[in-house]
Amino acid sequence: MMSLAIATFRNKMDREEREWSTRLVTSLLASALVWCVVVGLALLSTHLAISLKSRPPTPITILIPTAWGVLSVLAAKFAKVFSVRAFNSIRWKRVLFLLAPPFFLIGLLLGVDLTTAWSLLSYEKTAQWTGCGLLGLFGGMAALFVMSGWMLDPNEFSLHGFYRDRIVRCFLGASNADTLAPDSVWNIKTDDLHLTCLKESITQGAPFHIINSAVNLFGSKSLKVRQRNCDNFILTPTSSGSRVTNYIDTPDSLYLGTACAISGAAVGSGMGLATQGAGLAALMTIFNVRLGYWFENPKAVKNENKKLKMKGHEHPSRKERWKRPGFSPLFLMAEAFSLTNEERNFVNLSDGGHFDNLGLYELIRRRCKFIIVVDSEHDPNYNFTSLGEVIRLARIDFGIEIKIDLKQIAPSKETTTYASGHFALGEIDYSAYSGNEYSKKGASHLGETQKGTLLYIKSTLLPADRCAHISSDVLEYAKSHPDFPHDSTADQFFSEAQFESYRKLGECIAENVFGRLRPNYSDIEDIISELKQLREKS
């Protein structure tokens, strides 16, 4: 009817009204299609249950669920092993990966409906359902659903809490000299500390901790993030937020371990630039493979404070303001259907690498004069993907150009396995201006620096005749493990030898880069000048 009305009155509608009407019809048709699929599966499952009860199983009844399971497992395996670039280069894998999530969801819904119908048919012979009985049953189920939805925290009812506790025990616990159980693998409260406690380091000049994460914006109406589906979201001792959501004072209740776990939440329903389809987001949510975190939206806090100020009330303290998400099914649905945006009271955060895997973006935005970046990502072919992406983002968002010769690191044609060097020096041109609003803002409050230097260090091994500075045990480990030092980041269970080899390699590379510098310098320009000389000699 809506389509007929639009066709009849199209001459009386302006372009904006026609587009709005078309969008409305499209949304209604999509909703109707989903409803038809769900109802159709329910009816089909009832018919199948009756058929299976009246006749013995046939080979086809075994073959279909088997094929469903095999295809789902293959898609999950490819999603874990292959990158987005690998999928794009192999057509049949891309087709399989795109078709597998909806195929799995339909099979899962059909399986649930079939199990329910089978149970009801079996129970029907012994139970006589009355109208009041059915009403009481569904009423009780609805009440339990609502109570559970309000009581369960979507942040704690996920893998985030487990992941956070393991990170805290492994890293922060190792530096906790006051612990009463140093060998315990369980969470110890005194291991963690509030992120705002690190503000004391600001008075000493350094370091200022900037923990990067990505705010997932799949449902955002902003054209600036339409293709990216995310934006960089920082967590610091003083403030937290992003350009899209604005910034607020960091809550006192936010722990350092929580911030680190958010920054390392590599797997979940929302993965920023690394997201490989809405179907996969639904699967991740259904199976609760969620490392992400729902963080109070700075924009919502700003609006709330503005309303309180207009009423004459004082702003709530950070401790009073910090609260948990409300009705959890709404947040889970937002994750499952990729509806996360910057307009909700809470925003969905995930791994900082889903936007910028090097942590370079925020430093460029602050117009830092000398930036040191350490790249230890999985990059066996030396494609420098993460660096290339952040160079592109800096040019698009700020009009800032970064020029760096990666041949200083990339392997030569003779030795494709080994790198040419450990580091490269690049030049950052802050004077370029693209007319972007963020560039204007950055120029006004981030200093007048026009030129900067980027020291880019990469986890590499050099040819045998240039490896004298690398420890012998690291070289031995590399010979017996060809993937070293570019093991996949999917490997989350390092052995003792593997962990120590990576740690020692980093120490050897740092000593090779900085150990040859003089102990005292009067200016940062002297350090940059000497680094350039060392680069030319290498």
Report percent pLDDT > 90 for the chain: 32
Question: Averaged over 477-493, what is the pLDDT?
Answer: 85
What's the pLDDT tens digit per position in 159-190? Answer: 898 899 889 888 888 887 777 666 776 777 78
> What integer best gives the mean pLDDT of the chain?
81
What residue ranges do the domains of the chain occupy? 2-128, 160-352, 361-537
> Nearest-CA neighbor of 401 among 356, 441, 439?
439
Is residue 341 predicted with pLDDT exceeding 60?
Answer: yes
What's the pLDDT at 445? 42
Give the model's confidence band at 315: pLDDT under 50 very low, under 70 low, under 90 confident, else very high: low
Q: What element of type H or E holds 258? A: helix 256-263
Q: What is the side-by-side order of every strand in the sheet holding 423-429?
A: 370-375, 451-458, 423-429, 401-404
Is residue 100 predicted with pLDDT exceeding 90?
Answer: no
What's the pLDDT at 428? 94
What's the pLDDT tens digit per position in 427-473? Answer: 999 987 544 444 444 343 445 668 899 999 999 999 888 888 899 99
What's the pLDDT at 441? 42
How is residue 151 written in tokens? 């009581």
Instruction: Give Cα 194 distance to the centre of its chain.
Output: 23
Give the model's confidence band at 9: pLDDT under 50 very low, under 70 low, under 90 confident, else very high: low
> Nearest-CA neighbor of 154 among 320, 319, 336?
336
Is residue 231 predicted with pLDDT exceeding 90?
Answer: yes
What's the pLDDT tens digit per position in 255-297? Answer: 999 999 999 998 888 888 777 667 778 888 888 889 999 999 9
What's the pLDDT at 283? 80
* Residue 433 half-sphere exposure toward CB, CA atoms < 13 A: 10
What's the pLDDT at 263? 95
> Between residues 14 and 420, which one has the greater pLDDT?
420
Instruction: Give Cα 301 distance to the centre of its chain.
Output: 23
Distance between CA atoms of residues 113 and 107, nearest Å? 10
Question: Averaged over 361-385, what is the pLDDT?
Answer: 92
**Sign of the C-alpha dihedral, residues 263, 265, 266, 271?**
negative
What's the pLDDT at 436? 46
What's the pLDDT at 455? 95
Distance between CA atoms of residues 166 and 338, nearest Å? 28
> Nearest-CA neighbor of 286 among 109, 22, 77, 128?
109
Give the model's confidence band at 529: pLDDT under 50 very low, under 70 low, under 90 confident, else very high: confident
Least confident interval from 201-205, 388-392, 461-465? 201-205
> Between residues 128 and 461, which one has the greater pLDDT?
461
Residue 111 identity (one-letter amino acid): G
What's the pLDDT at 440? 42
What pTM did the predictor assign? 0.78
Please give the backbone phi and psi of residue 371, each rounded to the nearest 5 degrees, phi first: -120, 130
Is residue 312 predicted with pLDDT exceeding 80?
Answer: no
Question: Averaged over 101-108, what is the pLDDT?
Answer: 74
Give the model's confidence band at 31: pLDDT under 50 very low, under 70 low, under 90 confident, else very high: confident
